[in-house]
């Protein structure tokens, strides 16, 4: 009975936590499927009264400039900040940067983690600790030096600048995860391969890579998510449409007090779709990768 009661309590707590987490996203979707007038009714609508009409908000987000011109010609008074037209391009920027960060993290972290876990040289442990601890610094503490470096390199307002900064903050985390994986793999496996005249690269790619595959997938997903949602440095280093990312554009829209809330909600839902798709596809690898690396 005690075990059954514990299990029921766990289920109740899991359901309560899930509902608590999902309520904000539900309201986001709900608001995105309502007109502006419906959003301001009292009491609020817990379900979209006319969801088919609300779908126009999504069409509007992707055709802001054309529809705004049409409404201006028709003499319809309607305000929307110009930055809203940058959302489709910003999504492309965020996806390109996040995918590049994911690939780079997997390639670099795998080799660096293997070096730290298998190749011992003078100061290797201290270098590993410094590399991991660099991730613990708050972003605001390194804003000025990073900004000066990017400006000196003449990379302000470029996607390359955002990519370099995101790589700086995601790579130590990736190295740490894969280092844990590789450290718990018995040395005998590698020694057997070396006896068969495998080089270190052959050992890494042919022997160790299949074993650490869940960790690699987990590192890739985490790198993608961290890069896609990063806001602080993307805001500081980008200024125009040619480099802005999704968080910056949506924040700029939300900063305007008269922006239509329904359109802002639709933009938020659209921006959430890429990471949701990634999570759905690779969800089983996230827990397996992180947990296995920690307890193996």
How does DSSP assign the chain, residue by residue?
-HHHHHHHHHHHHHHHHHHHHHHHHHHHHHHHTS-HHHHT-SSPPSS-SSHHHHTHHHHHHHTHHHHHHHHHHTT------GGGGGHHHHHHHHHHHHHHHHHHHHHHHHHHHHHHHH---TTHHHHHHHHHHGGGS-GGGGHHHHHHHHHHTT-TTSHHHHHHHHHHHHHHHHHHHHHHHHHTS-HHHHHHHHHTT--HHHIIIIIIHHHTHHHHHHHHHHHHHHHHH--HHHHHH--STTT--HHHHHHHHHTSTTS-HHHHHHHHHHHHHHHHHHHHHHHHHHHHHHHHHHH-
d(CA 193, CA 31): 58
Whole-prediction pTM value? 0.86
Q: Are 122 and 56 members of one domain?
A: no
Residues 127 and 206 in one domain: yes
Q: What is the pLDDT of residues 144-201, one digit of tens each?
A: 999 999 999 999 999 999 999 999 999 999 999 888 888 888 888 777 877 777 787 8
Residue 254's pLDDT is: 83
Q: Residue 130 is encoded by which pair of tokens?
A: 């410094």
**Does residue 213 lie within any of the structural domains?**
yes
Report, as an integer, the average pLDDT of 66-90: 70
Same domain? For 25 and 144 the reply is: no
Please say whether the dihedral angle defined by the alpha carbons of residues 218, 162, 92 and 62, taken in this order, is positive or negative.
Answer: positive
pLDDT digits (tens, 9 = 90+) for 240-271: 888 999 999 998 888 877 778 888 888 899 99
Residue 97 counted as domain residue: yes
Q: What is the pLDDT of residue 295?
A: 42
Domain boundary among 65, 82, 99: 82
Q: In terms of Cα–Cα distance, which of 187, 193, 203, 202 is closest to 117?
A: 187
Residues 181 and 42 in one domain: no
- The whole-number pLDDT of residue 74 equals 60
Q: What angle is formed at CA 269 by the lines to CA 49 and CA 38, rounded to 5 degrees?
A: 25
Domain membership flag for residue 35 = yes
| 100 and 247 both lie in a single domain | yes
User: What's the CA gap between 85 and 68, in Å, rounded?
Assistant: 10
Residue 32 sits in the same domain as residue 63: yes
User: What CATH number does the domain containing 92 carry?
Assistant: 1.10.3720.10
Indicate whether 267 belongs to any domain. Answer: no
CA-nearest of 281, 114, 292, 121 to 208 is 114
Let me know whether 181 and 229 are in one domain. Answer: yes
* Residue 80: predicted pLDDT: 65
- For residues 77-97, average pLDDT: 81
Instruction: Render the burial of 211-225: b for 16+ CB within 10 Å, e for the rest.
Output: ebebbbbbbbbbbbb
- For residues 106 and 242, state if they share a domain: yes
Q: How far apart are CA 71 and CA 86, in angstroms?
A: 19
Q: Is residue 269 part of a domain?
A: no
Domain boundary pick from 82, 99, 118 = 82
- If asked whether residues 78 and 91 sit together in one domain, one would say no
Task: Kindly state whether residue 264 falls inside one of the protein's structural domains.
Answer: no
Number of domains in the chain: 2
With CA atoms as reference, report the closest residue to 117 among 69, 68, 180: 180
Residues 55 and 181 in one domain: no
Local confidence band at 4 (pLDDT 50, 70, 90 cut-offs) = low
Domain end among 30, 57, 82: 82
Range of the domain at 45: 2-82
Same domain, yes or no: 231 and 110: yes
Domain assignment present for residue 265? The answer is no
* Any domain includes 195: yes
User: Do 98 and 76 sit in the same domain of this protein?
Assistant: no
């Amino acid at each position: 009975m005690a075990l059954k009661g514990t299990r029921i309590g766990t289920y109740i707590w899991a359901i309560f936590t899930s509902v608590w987490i999902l309520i904000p996203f539900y309201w986001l979707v709900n608001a995105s499927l309502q007109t502006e007038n419906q959003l301001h009714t009292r009491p609020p609508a817990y379900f979209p009264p006319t969801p088919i009409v609300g779908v126009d908000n999504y069409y509007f987000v992707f055709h802001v400039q054309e529809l705004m011109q049409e409404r201006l010609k028709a003499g319809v008074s309607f305000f929307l900040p110009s930055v809203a037209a940058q959302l489709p391009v910003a999504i492309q920027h965020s996806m390109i940067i996040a995918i590049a960060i994911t690939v780079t993290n997997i390639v670099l972290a795998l080799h660096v983690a293997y070096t730290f876990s298998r190749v011992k040289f003078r100061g290797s442990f201290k270098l590993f600790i410094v590399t991991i601890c660099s991730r613990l610094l708050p972003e605001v503490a390194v804003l000025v030096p990073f900004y000066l470096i990017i400006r000196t390199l003449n990379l302000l307002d470029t996607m390359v600048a955002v990519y370099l900064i995101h790589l700086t903050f995601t790579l130590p985390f990736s190295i740490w995860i894969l280092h844990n994986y590789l450290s718990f793999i018995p040395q005998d496996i590698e020694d057997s391969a070396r006896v068969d005249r495998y080089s270190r690269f052959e050992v890494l790619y042919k022997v160790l890579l299949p074993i650490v595959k869940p960790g690699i997938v987990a590192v890739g997903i985490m790198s993608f998510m961290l890069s896609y949602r990063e806001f602080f440095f993307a805001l500081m280093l980008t200024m125009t449409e040619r480099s802005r990312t999704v968080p910056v554009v949506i924040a700029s829209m939300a900063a305007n007090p008269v922006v239509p809330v329904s359109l802002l909600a639709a933009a938020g839902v659209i921006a959430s779709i890429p990471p949701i798709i990634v999570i759905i596809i690779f969800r089983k690898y996230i827990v397996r990768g992180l947990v296995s690396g920690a307890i193996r």
